[in-house]
Each structure stands twice: as C-alpha cells, then as structure tokens.
C-alpha cells in the first residue's frame, strides 16, 4: 500500500502562485511514476503533469505547459507541483497519483491516489 497525502492547496487570486506537495510513503516510491490530475465541478478528472521514476522525464497538459512544473525528491519522498500564473480555469481539486508503470496521461494507469487538495483561483 502506498498512501498518498497532498498538501498546499488554497484560495488565491489570478496570477498568483501555489506549490502543491505529495508525500507518498513506502519503499517503492523511488520506482513509481508520479502524476497530478485535477477535477473541476461537473467535469471529468484530467491529466495535469507527470514525472518518471528518476525525474528525467516530465509531461504536461497543454493547458498548463510553461506555467506548472512537476518535480520529485526521491530522498525526501516528495513530489511537488509548482503552479505559477494561475488562472480561474485552474480551479479544481488536485490529486496526486502513483503508478508502477511509465508515466501516463490516463487515470487507469495509476495504482494509488490521494484524497485531493482544493485549489481555487479567483479573478
């Protein structure tokens, strides 16, 4: 079992920044692909960003490319999502996910999920 705990959400103004953090536990963390997804009210959960096991490869949704940065620290066992230039359309519950395979854009490829953290961006 790899429990995931997200932190760092909150309410901000458009243009502000937030940093989300995910703290998995378990000895398999360093071999897991990690990702962030988000779900806005009435919408399906969508891919935001992913990172491979050693941080060498990152992937982003077009909607966040250039504004968000995913990173991981395999010593501290954390995965962060730095979100800059936030927009109202970024408002959603953000979920951390972990998978045993390669990074993927689809939810079905991730084995473990956190409970989510709310991000609200007002104009």
- Please report, in angstroms and rounded to a whole number, the separation of the first and last CA atoms in the chain: 40
Give yes or no for residue 1 having a pLDDT over 90: no
Quick: pLDDT tens for 95-107.
Answer: 999 998 899 999 9
The mean pLDDT of 102-116, rounded to a whole number, is 92
CA separation (Å) from 115 to 8, 43, 87, 94?
A: 13, 17, 23, 9
The answer, yes or no, to whether residue 114 has pLDDT greater than 70, is yes
Contact 115, 93 (CB under 8 A): no
Would you state the pLDDT for residue 2? 67
**Over the range 57-95, which residues count as b (16 or more CB within 10 Å of their CB) and which as e?**
eebbbeebeeebbbebeeeeebbbbbbeebeeebbbbbb
Average pLDDT over residues 80-108: 95
Question: pLDDT tens, 46-67?
Answer: 999 999 999 999 999 999 999 9
% of residues, the chain, pLDDT over 70? 97
**Nearest-angstrom CA–CA distance, 121 and 7:** 16
């Amino acid at each position: 079992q790899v429990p995931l705990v997200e932190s760092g959400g909150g309410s901000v103004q458009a243009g502000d920044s937030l940093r989300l953090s995910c703290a998995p536990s378990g000895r398999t963390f360093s071999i897991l692909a990690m990702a962030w997804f988000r779900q806005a009210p009435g919408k399906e959960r969508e891919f935001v960003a992913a990172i491979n096991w050693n941080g060498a490869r990152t992937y982003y949704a077009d909607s966040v490319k250039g504004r968000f940065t995913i990173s991981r620290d395999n010593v501290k066992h954390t995965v962060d999502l730095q979100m800059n230039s936030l927009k109202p359309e970024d408002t959603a519950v953000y979920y951390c996910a972990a998978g045993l395979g390669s990074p993927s854009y689809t939810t079905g490829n991730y084995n473990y999920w956190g409970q989510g953290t709310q991000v609200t961006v007002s104009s």
